[in-house]
Amino acid sequence: MYIIPAVDVLDQKIVRLVEGDYNQVTRYEVSLEEQIETYQSNGTEFVHIIDLNGAKGDFSNQKYLFDIIRKTDMKVQYGGGVRSIEKVKELLDSGIHRVIVGTQAITNPTFLEELSKEVCDKTNSSDQIVVAIDVLDEVIKYSGWMESSPIKLMDYVDKCLQLGFFRFLCTDINKDGKLGGAGIDLYEKLLSHSPFIKLIASGGVSSMTDIEALNKLKIESCVVGKAIYENRISIEEIKAWNLQMLSTI
């Protein structure tokens, strides 16, 4: 299991939210450019960037983000406000390694079907699409976690798999931003239902003990954000873990 450092950006500032609540914001005094450089200089291959403004339909962050992203050699997993097939293709064509789709995939009944036709017939393209499933008490949330979907969690996973999408970013909203441990029970249910999905865990990771617990589930990777900024997990620990994981592949 690979650890992917996370950077959430709101109003051009690195932040962390509690349970996705925009009224519960912790801001960090480090720039996006500085943080990416810190990760890259410590041997991290991936970075997970979420445009929290974009998640609410406000695209004022995008130029700022892409001016910085274009300068890095890191593989970027990017999400927040990806609302069209054209935007997905634009991001992939611009060098984004993985694009996260969330709200549009849930609210637009034809979006995933159309996206599948556009990318899943191309070599490795479906590998670059990450379907976000943000879950609160097994209810899928969207639009910056402000709205609830009537679609049942496992039904949604099945639909995505049928269309050729197999990589999921699952955030346990109950755990997110609290440093109280990862959503092990939720991930166990998902993997029990669909053992062959590539699952990216997000939310609640507070220590290397949590990382070890997730690794036992055979999860592909996990996203770590607040634990880094609050000095619960060091960049050096992430580097050592990822090197160890790569050496065992």
Residues 63-84 have a mean pLDDT of 91
Reported confidence tier of residue 249, pLDDT bands at 50, 70, 90: low
Lowest mean pLDDT among 110-119, 144-153, 202-211, 225-234: 144-153
Lowest mean pLDDT among 18-27, 34-43, 85-94: 18-27
Q: Contact, 174 vs 145, CB < 8 A?
A: no
Catalytic residue among 134, 172, 176, 210: 134
DSSP annotation of 239 reads: H
Reported confidence tier of residue 14, pLDDT bands at 50, 70, 90: very high
Q: Note the pLDDT tens digit of each residue in 32-61.
A: 999 999 999 888 889 999 999 988 888 899
Please name the amino acid found at residue 135: V
What are the beta bridge partners of residue 46?
75
Residues 218-233 have a mean pLDDT of 92
Q: Note the pLDDT tens digit of each residue in 111-128.
A: 999 999 888 765 445 789
Residue 145 has pLDDT above 90, yes or no: no
Average pLDDT, the chain: 89
* Other C-beta atoms lying within 10 Å of the C-beta of residue 123: 6
DSSP annotation of 147 reads: E
Q: Percent of the chain, pLDDT > 90? A: 57
pLDDT computed for residue 124 by the predictor: 46
8 is known as an active-site residue:
yes
Residue 86 has pLDDT above 80, yes or no: yes
Catalytic residue among 8, 51, 172, 210: 8
DSSP annotation of 234 reads: -
Dist CA 22 CA 24 (whole Å): 5
Q: N- to C-terminal Cα distance for the chain?
A: 10
Q: How far is CA 67 from the centre of its chain?
A: 21
Q: What is the pTM of this model?
A: 0.90
Lowest mean pLDDT among 7-21, 24-38, 112-126, 149-163: 112-126
172 is known as an active-site residue:
no
Q: Note the pLDDT tens digit of each residue in 172-194.
A: 887 766 677 788 999 999 999 99
